[in-house]
Amino acid sequence: MTEFLKTADGSMTVRHPVLGELYHSDRGAVGEAEHVYIRAGFDAVSAGEAAVFEVGFGTGLNAWLTFRRAAETGRRVDYRAIELYPVEREDAGRLNYTTEPLFEQLHEVPWDGALHEVGAGGGLTKYRADLLTFDFTPLAGCFDVIYFDAFAPDAQPELWSAEVMERMFSILRPGGVLVTYSAKGTVKQALRAVGFEVVRLPGALGKRHMVRAVKPSVE
C-alpha cells in the first residue's frame, strides 16, 4: 500500500515502497523543488528554449513546476526524464499539488522514449530505464540543465558515482549546470573528478547546503 506523508510546508510526498525513502524532503516537497531545481537550476540558464534532463521523474513535481515557470516567462522547454520505478498516475494525483490539467497531462505521457507535446510551449520525453545501463550517447551535448534528483547517496550510492557523473557531464552543453539537493562530500568529489566546477549554495528550507555544478565553457 502506498504511504503518503505531509511535509513541513504542507505539501505531500510519498515513500518508495522498496527503498523506504521519501521522494522529497520532509521539510517541504514543493519548497525544496522550487529552491533547488527551479530557482538554482532552470532560472540560472540563459533565457529562451531550455533543454532539461531530470534524473528521477518521481511524482512529476519538478516537471510540473518547470513547465509552469516556463509558461510564466514565455520560454519553451524540451524536458526529458529517466525513471526506473514510476509513481502510479493515480498516486501522483492523490498528492494534490495542483488541479491544473497540465499535471495530469504530464502523467499521461507514456514511458516510450518519444517526444510528446505538453502544455502550450514544451515537449516531454520519458524514459523508463536504469540510469546505470541507459545509453546516453545519442544525448551528448544536448542539455542546458540537469536536475539530479535521485534518492540519497546513502540509499543508492551507485547512482552518485564518478562514472554516473561523467555521463551527466557528457550530456550537458558547455556552460550547462547540474543541480542537486545533496552536498555530501563524496558527491562533490565525484563531480569535480569528471570536470565539473562545483559551487555550494544555501540549501532549501533551512538545510545548510545544496550543489550547483557547472560544465566549463569552451574557450
Give the model confidence (pLDDT) of 124-171 as tens digits: 999 999 999 999 999 999 999 999 999 899 999 999 999 999 999 999
Give the range of the structural domain holding residue 112, as residue numbers without chain letter. Answer: 28-214
- pLDDT tens-digit readout, 14-61: 887 767 777 777 777 888 999 999 999 999 997 788 999 999 998 999
Enumerate the β-bridge partners of residue 214: 177, 197
Helix axes of 162-171 and 185-193: crossing angle, nearest 10 degrees = 50
Residue 109 falls inside a structural domain: yes
- Which pTM does this prediction carry? 0.92
Residue 13 falls inside a structural domain: no
- The total number of structural domains that make up the chain: 1
219, pLDDT greater than 60: no
Residue 8 falls inside a structural domain: no
Residue 23 falls inside a structural domain: no
Residue 18: what pLDDT?
Answer: 66
Separation of alpha carbons 120 and 170, rounded Å = 30
Residue 93: what pLDDT?
Answer: 79
Residue 174 falls inside a structural domain: yes
Residue 191 falls inside a structural domain: yes
What is the rounded radius of gyration, in angstroms, for the C-alpha atoms of the chain? 16
In the numeric block, which cell numbers belong to residue 27? 521539510
CATH number reported for the structural domain that contains residue 200 in this entry: 3.40.50.150
Enumerate the β-bridge partners of residue 123: 78, 117
Residue 2 falls inside a structural domain: no
